[in-house]
Amino acid sequence: MIKQDIEILDEISPGTDWKNQDDLLEKHILDSLKIVQLVGALNDEFDISITPVDLVPENFKNAEAVSALVERLSDE
Amino acid sequence: MNKVGIKQFLRAVSFLCLLVLLTVAASYMLAPKDNTPEGGIINPNANGFFSEPENSIEIAVLGNSDAYSGFSPMELWNMYGYTSYVSAEGHQSVAQSYSQLKKIMSRHDLKLVIFETDELFIKSKLAETAAKIINASAGSAFSVFQYHDRWKTTGLRELFKKPCYTAHCATKGQWLSNDVKGYVGGEYMVKTDKKASIPLSAKAPLDMLVKACRENGIELLFLELPSQSSWNYEKHNAVKAYADKNGIPFLDLNIDRDRFGFDWSTDTRDRGNHLNSRGARKATLFIGEYLIRNYSLTDRRRDADYKQWHKDYEEYAKQVKI
Amino acid sequence: MSYTSYSYLLIFLGTVFIFYTVVPKKFKWAVLLTASYVFYALNSGKLTVFLLLATAAVYFAGILLDCIAYTSALAKKGLEREEKKKLKTLINYQKKAVVVLTLGFIFGILLTIKYSGFFAGIFNRASEFAGLNFVLPEFKFLMPLGISYYTLQAAGYVIDIYRGKYRASHNFGKVALFLSFFPQITEGPIGRFDDLADPLYEGHGFSYDNLTKGLQLTAWGLFKKMVIADRVNLFVSEVFGNHGGYSGSILLAAGALYTLQIYAEFSGCMDIVTGSAQLFGVPLAKNFERPFFFFFLSENWRRWHITLGAWLRDYVFYPVSLSPTCIRTGKFARARLGEHFGSFLPTAFALLITWIGIGFWHGAGIKYLIYGLYYYALMMLGMLLEPLIARGFSALSLRREGRLLNALRILRTSALVIGGMMLFRADSVSVWLEMLKRLFVSFDAGGFAGTVLKCGMDRQDFFIVLLGASAMFIVSLLQEKGIKIRESVAKQRLAVRWAAYAGLIMAIVVFGAYGTGYDAVDFIYGQF
């Protein structure tokens, strides 16, 4: 799962070392525009629906958090 | 309070003391060192008493523009020999009057304060009123809030100089106008039992002013000069009530107009708001009559120390054209 | 009662602090609530009723949402999967209805008070143009204090409950305090219930640290506002007031100084109110993060009025861009128009809505709409041209980093920001365009030195502004490097500390632009 995520992340913002970033938001690697792009891609890829409620910093602070979010929503 | 608490408390108090000290020092340094317009003093005319010889003024007149337009110290001098000074400013608040009184008292041994009551009905901000009273009570030790901007014009040496007052105001604070713009409307003093209310921001400093006079053995007289646009019977009633309660005589020239030949068509410079120099002469002579009957003030006209006043009168008389 | 007045700083804040400190913990929130309503009523009188209406509306809506969720959870038990789904749809429908009605109500008040005159004006002009004899009354209402701020907070509260972020509060006092807290009611920061309500409500004991740090921050804010902003205002109001008589170079200076003014003032006010709130142990949200000297406009904007941007991001930009319509359009566009442009289109749409929101939020008028669109257009342009620029750089085999290039970028971004601020300050769009034109056709750099000291500020004024602004930028630079100013000062010896604090306060007293010769300047952002 996380590998797939990183592929998607790479498309959004190429050339980032995703695994070793602990705060994507603080460092402005992900801004609101990229988050929207990312969410669109994730929704398509995993057939989930990430809603505005899920768009909180905790869910996007690093690659693990993103895949945890995807996992949680896929279970529902 | 525990030990840490006491320490913190003491530290905070000492810091506040330091701030007060700095403020007082800054006030001293930035205060105008002269009462000329160039000296940076606000309203130089109202502060000319600083350069009158010490204890030479017996009567102080406090008030706003009505007072400096409608009271003539020189007419009073010429006819009765009393020495007076009009320390009035445009839109003077009662707190400001109190502040001016304190300043005059620091230089002159007053016998009588004439308070022009028009300003009693102007509301001002309570916080500002309080600040002015505190500053006045502390002998202008906090005047930096008023004069802080003088850092721009003052030189380094002037900061540490003692004040030296040199201005000379021949009219003793009166603002002369030879304009005649008569008032042609109807009677404005319509008798009523209704009473206007004096706002707290005026009443509180007025109480202090009354107390200051009383404590220093200074007589106090309330005066209302003729003003068609700012005066009415309701205000008269309010002042009368306050005056009666505190045993202060009140002279309302709006009511006594006919007794001194006042004429609205010739004695005002702006259609009934302020008096011109003719109106001021008439009003002052009438007030002088009242003073001679009710107070024991000193006639200085034969006093050699007051020669300058005769010269000032000549200067004044030259300027009066009506 | 302005935050810079004696009445607020000495009397109001002092009294509230004493009461807050002496009453038992249980009632401390009541002191804050009472103080907030006294503060509000002193400013807005009868209009306080609007604040109460908004508070009541979101309070009851929150409880209603909670009840719907609760009953549905009960009803769900023992239902079949299909029926569960049906119930869920129904519940969602009910919840949506509550939210829409509530938002309609609170924004309805805002729209009526703030915008009805503007829209009626547009309607009347249109009807005149069409030859119709139908005229709507153009009301001018008195604005309740901070309505643009508390309405956003109130809306955020209901939407968050609807989204299930947290549950509704059943404590009316808590909601009322969250919406009315006196330091932030006039011009923000726009707070979130889950951040703010508990610290406001729980009650904090006396803390020497909070007291001193709060006062220090307040003093720093006063310095920015009174020494820098209010002095610069002398120049700005003179030049913008008589813009026709000045050359382009003076207009540019006025634009730059206005940018300085609005920053010093708005961030200064934030420092004052954040300091005030710290006296009561309440942390307010950060509204500024040194929004200057950046390469890109988007970065400047992200650090400017942060809470407004964040509010619009969470409650406008995200929902719009994740709305089914937007997503569908995106897919469609990507298929037809290519990857870059296709994914750009829905974002562009969502951003458009957001920027129109930002523009109109500042005021009812074409000028503010254009102000929002100005930033929008510039950022869109940047995004659209990005592939082209990248290609250009690689074609010319130029590096995209480098000192000179970065300096040019900073210059460009600053120029764009100043351009936007000039619009913000100008009387109208046409005045702005006229001023921009003069920048190019009659710049008159040669005449600059001769006129610059005749526009309301003399040599000494400029000197003080220069000193003050330098102090401000140095502090910002240190903060940017991660240095906490107040803590580092606190570590110094007593003499150094006291010299710093007393120096700051005396600088405000002596060099503040207040009293005779200065008009009291209202906070610019208090008017929105």
Domain count, chain C: 3
Residue C300: inside a domain? no
List all residues 6 or more positions away from C108 whose beta carbon is below 8 Å from its beta carbon.
Answer: none
Q: Determine, for residues C515 and B148 on separate chains, whether the beta-carbon distance falls below 8 Å.
A: yes
> What pLDDT, on a 0 to 100 scale, did the predictor assign at position C21?
94
| pLDDT at position C405 over 60 | yes
C509 closest CB neighbour out of B42, B126, B145: B145
Q: Which domain holds residue C177?
A: 6-206
Q: Which of C53, C44, C51, C3 is nearest to C142 (CA)?
A: C44
Instruction: Write a three-state SS string for C317-361.
Output: HHHHHCCHHHHHHHHHHHHHHCHHHHHHHHHHHHHHHHHHHHHHH
List the chains bordering chain C where 3 or more Cβ pairs fall under 8 Å.
Answer: A, B
- Residues C508-521: what's their mean pLDDT? 83
> Same structural domain for residues C489 and C447?
yes
Nearest-neighbour CA in chain A from C322: distance (Å): 7
Interface membership of C505 toward B (CB under 8 Å): yes
A33 closest CB neighbour out of C315, C319, C347: C347
Question: How far apart are the C-alpha atoms of B20 and B294, rounded to whole Å?
Answer: 45
Q: What is the pLDDT of residues B255-273, one digit of tens each?
A: 988 899 999 999 999 999 9
Interface membership of B22 toward C (CB under 8 Å): yes
Q: Determine, for residues C208 and B42 on separate chains, whether the beta-carbon distance falls below 8 Å.
A: no
Q: Hey, of C505, C509, C514, C516, which one would you mutate to test binding to chain B, going by the most B CBs within 10 A of its CB?
A: C509
Residues of chain C whose beta carbon is less than 8 angstroms from a beta carbon of chain A are 163-165, 298-299, 302, 313-315, 317-319, 321-322, 327, 330, 343, 346-347, 350-351
Chain A partners within 8 Å of C164 (Cβ): 53
**Quick one: tokens of A74?**
């896929």
Nearest-neighbour CA in chain C from A36: distance (Å): 7
| pLDDT at position A11 over 80 | no
Kindly provide the ipTM of the predicted complex, given to two decimals.
0.84
Chain B partners within 8 Å of C505 (Cβ): 19
| pLDDT at position C518 over 70 | yes
Between chain B and chain A, are at least 3 CB pairs below 8 A? no
> What pLDDT, on a 0 to 100 scale, did the predictor assign at position A76?
63
> Same structural domain for residues C167 and C216?
no
Q: What is the pLDDT of residues B293-311, one digit of tens each?
A: 999 999 999 999 999 999 9
| pLDDT at position C344 over 80 | no
> What pLDDT, on a 0 to 100 scale, did the predictor assign at position A37?
80
> What pLDDT, on a 0 to 100 scale, did the predictor assign at position B307?
94
End-of-domain residue from the set C362, C381, C411: C411
Residue C93: inside a domain? yes
Q: Determine, for residues B18 and C502 on separate chains, whether the beta-carbon distance falls below 8 Å.
A: yes
Chain C partners within 8 Å of A37 (Cβ): 343, 347
C502 closest CB neighbour out of B12, B22, B127: B22
Whether this model's pTM surpasses 0.90 = no
Q: Decide if B58 contacts B84 (C-beta within 8 A).
A: yes
Give the strand order in the sheet containing B59-63.
B84-88, B59-63, B112-116, B219-224, B250-252
> Same structural domain for residues C366 and C444?
no
Least confident of B188-197, C482-491, C510-519: C510-519
Chain C partners within 8 Å of A36 (Cβ): 317-318, 321-322, 346-347, 350
Domains and CATH numbers, chain B: 31-319 (3.40.50.1110)
**B192 or C326: which carries more pLDDT confidence?**
B192
**C517 or C474: which carries more pLDDT confidence?**
C474
> What pLDDT, on a 0 to 100 scale, did the predictor assign at position C465?
96
> What pLDDT, on a 0 to 100 scale, did the predictor assign at position B301?
94
Q: What is the pLDDT of residues A34-46, one digit of tens each?
A: 888 888 888 878 8
Q: Is B169 helix (H, G, I), strand (E, B) or coil?
A: coil
Residue C302: inside a domain? no
Q: Determine, for residues C330 and A40 on separate chains, whether the beta-carbon distance falls below 8 Å.
A: yes
Give the start-to-end residue ranges of the domains of chain A: 2-75
> What pLDDT, on a 0 to 100 scale, did the predictor assign at position B249?
96
List all residues 6 or more positions away from C327 whose beta carbon is below 8 Å from its beta carbon.
Answer: A40, A43, C346
**Quick one: tokens of C302?**
């992200």
Element (H, E) at C429: helix C429-441
- Residues C298-310: what's their mean pLDDT? 86
Residue C182: inside a domain? yes
Q: Hey, of C318, C325, C329, C332, which one would you mutate to test binding to chain A, going by the most A CBs within 10 A of its CB?
A: C318
Q: What is the pLDDT of residues C98-109, one digit of tens each?
A: 999 999 999 999
A2-75 CATH pick, 1.10.1200.10, 3.40.50.2000, 3.20.20.70, 3.40.50.970: 1.10.1200.10
Q: What is the mean pLDDT of chain B?
A: 93
> What pLDDT, on a 0 to 100 scale, did the predictor assign at position B300?
94
Residue C256: inside a domain? yes
Residue C296: inside a domain? no
Letter for the amino acid at C392? G
pLDDT band of C264, cuts 50, 70, 90:
very high
B146 closest CB neighbour out of C10, C11, C515: C515
> What pLDDT, on a 0 to 100 scale, did the predictor assign at position C212?
93
**Euclidean distance between the first and the last CA atom of chain B, given in angstroms as a whole number:** 74
Interface membership of C171 toward B (CB under 8 Å): no
List all residues 6 or more positions away from C496 whose beta carbon is below 8 Å from its beta carbon.
Answer: C489
| pLDDT at position C178 over 60 | yes
